Amino acid sequence: MIYKRLTSLSFIFISKLASSYLSSVILNKTNELRKRRRDRVMAIKNLLVLAVLLSVIGVSVANPKGLDLNYYKHRCPDAEAIVRRTTVQYVSRQTSLAAALLRMHFHDCFVRGCDGSILLKSPTKDAERDAIPNLSVRGYEVVDAAKAALEKKCPGVVSCADVLALVARDAVLVINGPWWPVPLGRRDGRISRKSEVNLPSPFAGIAALKKNFFDKGLNTKDLVVLSGAHTIGISNCGLINSRIYNFTGKGDFDPSMNPSYVRALKKRCKPTDFRTSLEMDPGSVKKFDSHYFNIVAQKKGLFTSDSTLLDDAETKTYIDTQVSTAGSSFNKDFSESMVKLGFVEILTGNKGEIRRKCAFVN
């Protein structure tokens, strides 16, 4: 009798255990199927967004200059997730890195194209990163950390140029800025020369800026839209002291500036102060929004390159539109221009290489 009772209890226990196991297996399988379905839906959404953006900017969707949203799908399927995870870890702790990493990507693309050449170090200090405009570029540790994580998972597969493009996008997303698709497949350049760094200057007028952008396949709208990234920008007194104290060599200030803004800047920047930091979009520097256009419209642009956007009919119209509509199209426009920037003079196919470490050629 006792034996039969124990046998019955054992059967009940085993049945429950089996039932629990089967439920767990079914639940895991269901979750896996749901994840695959979500991934497929996300992939389709990404392709649709890219298709719209590329149709707007006139780039072939089928093979946009050799880049592909799913370029690493088989060789390193977790590439974007790995980069995103690393970027979030760094930028969430230090949000000012978002502006720094976006600036790094821009500076990279404007010299030899988006090939990661700004990341290279030179023992003789004659690489791009050693040029005066790039001495204040920071955030290299984020790119290096993301690349190191990728090398552990997929050695020799993901280029540093692609890592930088992804990091810039994800850093902006961390501070609630716009998202944009990043087609992948860029190769890394092997050349980085300090002498070749010719970036759009903060002291430049509208004609020079338009030429800078046209030379890279970008247009006037891209110029004013990408200038909007200054909404999260930080500079220093050294770059604007002559503008507010001795613009023409007669102890005057730039007449294109709002006098009240000049007075405020003089309170913060003494004539010999070259280090004190300045927000490029006062009061909104921690938020990626269209407020930058408001301050430019009020003649409070920090650089000449900001103020001169009011000197061109197309750029001024764009600024006025963003001000009057509270930036209704800015995020969309910024996403489109960032996609275009990411195609500038890229290396694909057999050109360049895939660096094992971003600071050094193989």
Q: What letter would DSSP give residue 247? A: S
SS3 of residue 216 by DSSP: coil
Pairing state between β 234-236 and 277-279: antiparallel
b vs e for 7-32, b when ≥16 Cβ sit within 10 Å of the residue's Cβ?
Answer: eeeeeeeeeeeeeeeeeeeeeeeeee
Do 205 and 304 contact (CB within 8 A), yes or no? yes
**Nearest alpha-carbon partner for 296 in 288, 287, 308, 286:** 308
Q: In this structure, are residues 222 and 215 in contact, taking their beta carbons and an 8 Å threshold?
A: no
- For residues 276 and 281, give the distance between their C-alpha atoms in angstroms, rounded to a whole number: 15
Report the chain's terminal Cα–Cα distance, integer Å: 78
Is there a contact between 95 and 286 (Cβ–Cβ < 8 Å)? Answer: yes
From the candidates 105, 107, 230, 291, give the one annotated as an active-site residue. Answer: 107
230 is catalytic: no
- Say if residue 244 is exposed, middle or buried (CB neighbours under 10 Å; 0-12, 13-18, 19+): buried
Q: How is residue 185 written in tokens?
A: 């497949």
**HSE on the CB side for 166, CA within 13 Å?**
29
The number of residues making up the chain comes to: 362
Spatial CA neighbour of 300 closest among 316, 281, 319: 281
Q: CA Rg, the chain, in Å?
A: 26
| CA 151/CA 356 separation, integer angstroms | 7
Catalytic center residues: 107
